Structure 1
Amino acid sequence: MTVQLPAYDRRKLTPGIVHIGLGNFHRAHMAVYLDDLFNMGLNHDWAILGAGVREGDARMREALKAQDCLSTVIELDPKGKSARRVGAMIDFLPVEPDNAALIAAMSRPEIRIVSLTVTEGGYFINPATGAFDPTNPEIVADAADPHRTAFGAIIAALKARKAAGVMPFTVMSCDNLPGNGHVTRDAVTGLARLSDPAFADWIASNVAFPNGMVDRITPATGPRERAMAAAFGLADDPVPVTCEPFRQWVLEDNFPAGRPAWEKVGVTLTPHVHNFELMKIRILNGGHATIAYPGGLMDIEYVHEAMANPLIRGLLDKVEVNEIIPYIPPVPDTNLGDYYRLIVERFSNPEVADTERRICLDGSNRQPKFIVPSIRDALAAGGSVEGLALVSAMWCRYCHGETDSGTPIPPNDPDWDALVARSRAAKSRPAAWLEMTSVYGDLGQDARFATAFARHLNRLWAVGTRQTLGEYLG
């Protein structure tokens, strides 16, 4: 099997972007779009300098530096896999406690974009308010001993550029968050305001934070993915990326310091990012949350196996059609029904072998973003929330820490211990779960939702997931 190699001379690339967070998603998404541009002979002054601020980033740096910062990306098309070596990144900066190398790189005039994939939970948001949380211990520590977080490093570099008379870079989040540009701006200015309110105001007035919607399913790397790389003759790559063939990127065109010609490689540049984003977060991410926990409770390992289960597929169809899609505003040049059918096809791709455990991960951060807003919209419109209440009840039951068969569920959330304790309390008093205002806000006080949630949770304990789903589907 052949591997597509860069068609450009990587020695002639020069950096224009510092990217923080070199996980699988970035290497299968933004790095691939840039690789496509470079293969067209365009924008060779926009190569990536990789960076990270966490312990895991240092391990990734070691792996990628050992292979000249090349990434193996394997597309999992059911009609046949294909592999490429993506060469858009030309160096990976040292990972240091004070982020000195990162700050120095971002201060360089040729760096015009700083981009991030630091996960949904990496923006220090208070789930109860949806706003930046200045009391978070990491933020408090960064304000006292600056530059320890990605946002602290960004502030330091912006100060250095301002002092040197260099135009500020654009800060671009590539994380899966509603209004990710606004969220990033709030994190950067919120942290700056703790120590230098005047500079926080300067950032708000002078630095661009474009919103964007990103989409590509990229499973975690394990033995299966390494075996695939070996089949392509790349057995020495410890961190190959596998991904579905589909990818999408919708961007607000707000780059005062310039940007690559992303529109030439399929990126949609539009002022209507929010519409695309809402569609994706509600239908795709909400869909993942809908099928995650019943699959987890029924000991189903893979997402495509969950999609083949008529009860789980029936749940997804009923929740999406009746309780999610009706409340999504129109999206330019997009039919929501067609989009949902595409999502079903993507979830059902057996080659991806995405795991139920992965999509069950971090519910305490994901439920407030992907499920709770749909509940609020349905309640406000007087619509049904039976299915969404069942989704919440299954999340609660999953966090009890064992499947319907009694198999232990290893910790799968940053707040796992607290969730387990609350789930156990909710077994006899369902309202205990809805008292998590960090997730539900005041929804626990809504009689329609609370009653449906309690009824479903009681049935899950009484008869199990399979029968509860059958009863819901009628």
Structure 2
Amino acid sequence: MNTESRLCRKALTSLTDHLLSPAWRDPDIGIVHLGIGNFHRAHQAIYTEEAVAGAGGEWGICGVTLQGDVAKRDALAAQEGLYSVVERGPDAERVTVVRILREVLALPYDRAALFARLADPRVRIVSLTVTEKGYCRDGKTGDVDFGHPDIIHDLAHPAEPKTVPGILVAALRERRDNPFTVLSCDNLMHNGAALRQVTCSFANAIDPALGEWIATAVAFPSTMVDRIVPATSDSDRVSAATALAHADALPVPCEPFRQWVIEDCFPAGRPEWELAGAQLVSDVAPFELAKLRMLNGTHSALAYLSMLAGFETIDAAIREPDMHRLIHSMMTYEIIPTLAMPASFDTLAYRDALLSRYANPALKHRCAQIAMDGSQKIPQRLLGAIATRIEAGQPFARLALAIAAWMVFLRGHADDGSHYEIKDPLADRLTSLVAAAGPLPEKRLNALLSMREIFPAELAENLVFQHAVTDALVAIGHGARSAIAQYAR
């Protein structure tokens, strides 16, 4: 594809078979989204476009990259905000062009434009997909991490913030007469409440009155989001270009399944997302916990075991009979009993749907991608379920195997000797501890359990937990595939 055939608005007249709805009027911007990555573009953006197509409303999206990614900004701008979603099922592929993205900004280069947009009363929602580390959150207190270098910068220079808490507080300070709703869409339990606490603690450090006002006047609804969205590859670009006859620099691959559960608390209004299949509820917590433990927890277990065993993608791993039995049993016997779901929610059907989604050969969801940022993910995804099992006096050997796999994963190489990079906010400390501890399971365990950012003292000092993880470390010492087979029984 040459530059003249790049995806653009003029091309839409020939792409009606690839649009979510043929009837369309470009809406004004009503949502600013921080963290314009693949997940948002394959999830909330599609829900929003379908809602606007069905019910109207000025809910166009201004997407913001917070990492100074001008390449992404410029590529999307060159395509007039258009991009395609490559939806891959086991037997079919569908390419759809999304039109809801009206503007893309990149910090710090577009700071003035961003704050002008956030000050606009027509912006009624600021949403986020920045991952947990983007919150700059103290894992012990839940407040903002006042020792984080970017938070230190933002407190000293509140008009030039780098962080999410700094941006939100600076923007809300100017919106006291008509605050926007702050909508977290990250994989974090009680994400709305978590973001409220981070934001308010930051605001209190600048102006206690402002912090009190944010705590009482600004809505922070919680959400639960679900869709498998791998990183974009060259094959995705080829698929998009072949289907559209126009080049798309930033197509987004994803699975057909999607889910969005939203706490219905939007004082300033919202798109009619329910028309697109979103569930608007009064309490997101049960759905959050089911997804966090059943999907995210087993995803992490799969990722770390697979990195050691030499499986590159989730579908390849789950096709192995022992791995399938292990994950099936982990959900059935160790995770589902920790949940308290509404009667209408069929946990066994959800389990089976997850296993089918994992086996989708079209996605090629890389285990290395899921394995990133384990220090941030493990406490929420795995340790909560383990603590519940311990409290109930119930076994959790398979969950302990997942923790042990992460601990061994930190050595930086698979069983066959092939090396991989440890991508984690605490990578330097983690790898140093593992290197100093050496190969002995007990030493490795004690070194990593000392990290209170990951393991709370009550769990780290629990002998039942220690013994279960030690046993799993010993098993993995004989090879990850052998351990998988042993624990799948």
Whether these two folds match at TM > 0.5 is yes
Alpha-carbon distance in structure 2 between the residues aligned to 1:318 and 1:69: 44
Alpha-carbon distance in structure 1 between the residues aligned to 2:253 and 2:308: 26
Q: Tell me, yes or no, if the aligned pair for 1:14 and 1:45 is still in contact at 8 Å.
A: yes
Alpha-carbon distance in structure 1 between the residues aligned to 2:143 and 2:334: 26
Structure 1 residues 234, 35: CA separation in 2 closer, same or farther (over 3 Å shift)? farther
Partner in structure 1 of residue 71 of structure 2: 59
Partner in structure 1 of residue 98 of structure 2: 86
RMSD: 1.7
* Offset, 1:7: 2.3
Q: Tell me, yes or no, if the aligned pair for 2:404 and 2:472 is still in contact at 8 Å.
A: yes
Q: How does 1:64-213 map to 2 (within 5 A)?
A: 64-96=76-108, 99-146=111-158, 147-162=161-176, 166-213=177-224
SS in 2 for 1:115: strand
2:18 is the counterpart of 1:3 = yes
1:24 alignment partner, one of 25, 31, 38? 38
Q: Which consecutive residues of structure 1, in runs of 5 or more, have no partner in the other structure?
A: none
* Offset, 1:130: 4.6
Q: Tell me, yes or no, if the aligned pair for 1:294 and 1:394 is still in contact at 8 Å.
A: yes
Q: Aligned residues, how many?
A: 467
Alpha-carbon distance in structure 1 between the residues aligned to 2:460 and 2:121: 51
Deviates more, 1:123-132 or 1:427-436: 123-132
SS in 1 for 2:432: helix
1:385 alignment partner, one of 378, 388, 396? 396
2:467 alignment partner, one of 413, 432, 451? 451
* Offset, 1:97: 5.6
Alpha-carbon distance in structure 2 between the residues aligned to 1:289 and 1:158: 36
Q: Tell me, yes or no, if the aligned pair for 1:323 and 1:384 is still in contact at 8 Å.
A: yes
Partner in structure 2 of residue 438 of structure 1: 453
2:483 alignment partner, one of 465, 468, 472? 468
**What is the identity percentage for the equivalent residue pairs of Structure 1 and Structure 2?**
37
Tell me which amino acid in the other structure corresponds to 2:148: N
* Offset, 1:9: 4.1
Q: Tell me, yes or no, if the aligned pair for 2:68 and 2:108 is still in contact at 8 Å.
A: no
Partner in structure 2 of residue 35 of structure 1: 49
Partner in structure 1 of residue 12 of structure 2: none
Q: How does 1:389-404 map to 2 (within 5 A)?
A: 389-404=400-415
Alpha-carbon distance in structure 2 between the residues aligned to 1:94 and 1:400: 35
Tell me which amino acid in the other structure corresponds to 1:55: G
SS in 2 for 1:219: coil
Q: Which consecutive residues of structure 2, in runs of 5 or more, have no partner in the other structure?
A: 1-14
SS in 2 for 1:55: coil
Partner in structure 1 of residue 10 of structure 2: none
Partner in structure 1 of residue 61 of structure 2: 48
SS in 1 for 2:32: strand
Q: Tell me, yes or no, if the aligned pair for 1:18 and 1:114 is still in contact at 8 Å.
A: yes
Q: How does 1:209-288 map to 2 (within 5 A)?
A: 209-233=220-244, 236-288=247-299
Deviates more, 1:411-420 or 1:140-149: 411-420
SS in 1 for 2:479: helix
Runs of 4+ in 1 over 3 A off after TM superposition: 128-132
Structure 1 residues 98, 353: CA separation in 2 closer, same or farther (over 3 Å shift)? closer
Structure 1 residues 129, 206: CA separation in 2 closer, same or farther (over 3 Å shift)? closer
Partner in structure 1 of residue 342 of structure 2: 331
SS in 1 for 2:174: helix
Q: Tell me, yes or no, if the aligned pair for 1:393 and 1:456 is still in contact at 8 Å.
A: yes
Deviates more, 1:89-98 or 1:184-193: 89-98
Alpha-carbon distance in structure 2 between the residues aligned to 1:63 and 1:248: 28
